[in-house]
Amino acid sequence: MTEPVKPGDVVAINYVGRLEDGTVFDSSDGRDPLEFEAGSPNVISGMSKAVVGMQVGEEKTIEIPPEESYGERKQELLVKVQTQQLPDDAKEGDILSDGQPGSPQWVVVERDDAETVLDGNHPLAGKTLIFDVTLVGIQ
């Protein structure tokens, strides 16, 4: 039997991430397992902490509140801009960015001829995330 995961171990997991209503928002199915350092900030903190103590082959369902994932929704990240400042074809639901790696992304939530409301919150902000995790390796 292998040792359980300790903070600092590099782990590999397979997972399915879903919302409380059962909607799947991410999964490792069909991809390589997700690798990260347990206890590090390289993934959401709730996931990073939850794998500590697991053993290879162990399966676990983890419920992660917003404060340990993408945070609460912030009202100040809803902004109004002049519609003329945006691309002519930008419509509700579109994601806008300046294209630079790491730059903020904004979702068009309302648009009319004069003003457009943009949301800079992460799409999963304010949501409790549920992950079904299988630990497949420890390096």
| Nearest one of 88, 89, 91 to 118, comparing CA atoms | 91
pLDDT digits (tens, 9 = 90+) for 87-115: 989 999 999 987 778 778 899 999 999 99
- Extents of the domains making up the chain: 10-71+126-138, 75-119
Burial of 133 (0-12, 13-18, 19+ CB in 10 A): buried
Q: Which residues pair with 78 in a beta bridge?
A: 119
Residue 112 is encoded by which pair of tokens?
A: 């009319």
Residue 94 is encoded by which pair of tokens?
A: 């579109």
List C-alpha distances in Å: 136 to 4, 5, 17, 38: 12, 11, 16, 13
**Domain range 75-119, CATH class:** mainly beta
pLDDT digits (tens, 9 = 90+) for 54-68: 999 999 999 999 999
State whether CATH 3.10.50.40 applies to domain 10-71+126-138. yes
Rounded-to-integer distance, Cα 115 and Cα 95, Å: 16
- Label residue 1 by pLDDT band (50, 70, 90): low
Q: How many CA atoms lie within 13 A of 136 on its CB side?
A: 12
